[in-house]
């Protein structure tokens, strides 16, 4: 965890809904923007917030597709006919819900 020294502390106020506005200077120094995720916890009577570096959904999907492509290396892509046959086979095998 990187601690940025500041000459003077910034003051924030807790609103009626428990919301705290992070001072602009702190947001800029830490790169906190709207929708940034923070881990908040208490430690020895102090409130500690830590920015969470999580991948975006798009980045996660890209990684998933790369992983899938990696497992298929050296194999040919299925044809549309093969995909439709697999879907139909699955539909025949799965149990039907009651009343359907």
State pLDDT tens for residues 17-39. Answer: 999 999 999 899 899 999 899 99
pLDDT: which is higher, 5 or 88: 88
Q: For 60-99, how does the pLDDT look when each residue is reduced to its tens digit (9 = 90+)?
A: 888 888 887 777 777 787 888 988 998 888 888 877 766 6
Domain boundaries, the chain: 1-54, 57-93
Q: What is the largest CA-CA distance in the chain?
A: 70
What pTM does this model have? Answer: 0.47
Q: What is the CATH number of domain 1-54?
A: 2.10.260.10
Whole-number pLDDT of residue 100? 58
Whole-number pLDDT of residue 41? 93
Q: How many CA atoms lie within 13 A of 43 on its CB side?
A: 6
């Amino acid at each position: 965890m990187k601690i940025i020294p500041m000459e003077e502390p910034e003051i924030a106020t807790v609103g009626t809904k428990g919301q705290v506005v992070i001072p602009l200077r702190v947001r800029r120094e830490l790169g906190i923007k709207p929708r940034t995720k923070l881990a908040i916890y208490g430690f020895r009577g102090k409130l500690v917030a830590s920015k969470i570096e999580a991948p975006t959904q798009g980045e996660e999907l890209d990684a998933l597709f790369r992983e899938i492509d990696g497992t298929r290396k050296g194999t040919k892509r299925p044809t549309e006919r093969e995909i439709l046959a697999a879907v139909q086979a699955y539909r025949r095998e799965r149990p039907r819900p009651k009343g359907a």
